[in-house]
Amino acid sequence: MKKLEIYEPAMCCSTGVCGVDVDTVLVQFAADLQWLAEQGVEVARYNLSQQPQVFAANQDVVKEMDAGMDRLPIVVVDGHIVSTGVYLSRPQLMQKLALTPETTAQTAAIPGCCTPKSGCC
């Protein structure tokens, strides 16, 4: 299982999707992370204002922050920094995770209890 970690700047909440002035980029990013989790990717999202100890524990992240706070968000895949300073789109995240439409389609095709034709509900 791939692991995706996002080190984000200080925000008002864990997703940044709150308040009266919601950033639509963060709304889409939150939806994309949820979709990746549904594809089997382990997703961890860290907010500098709420989890500073997680940032301090990762020396690669500290080095990036020493270069400038504009390096946030930092995207890490399986322990390697793959992007800094931008929220990646779903296709970009898929590329960094080496996911293809075929592999995600297979995951989506796994039958479950509550598929439209399962008869369970």
User: pTM of the predicted model, to two decimals?
Assistant: 0.80
How are beta strands 42-47 and 74-77 bridged, if at all?
Answer: unpaired
What's the rounded Cα separation, in Å, for the pair 119 and 5? 37
How many Å is the maximal CA-CA distance in the chain? 56
Q: What is the pLDDT along the chain (121 residues), one digit of tens a residue?
A: 899 999 999 887 666 666 667 788 998 999 999 999 999 999 999 999 999 999 999 999 999 999 999 999 999 999 999 999 999 999 999 999 999 877 776 544 444 455 555 555 5
The Cα 44–Cα 21 span in angstroms is 24
> What is the set of domains in the chain, with CATH numbers?
3-97 (3.40.30.10)
CA neighbor of 87 nearest in space, from 19, 38, 16: 16
Phi, psi of 115 (to 5 degrees): -80, 160
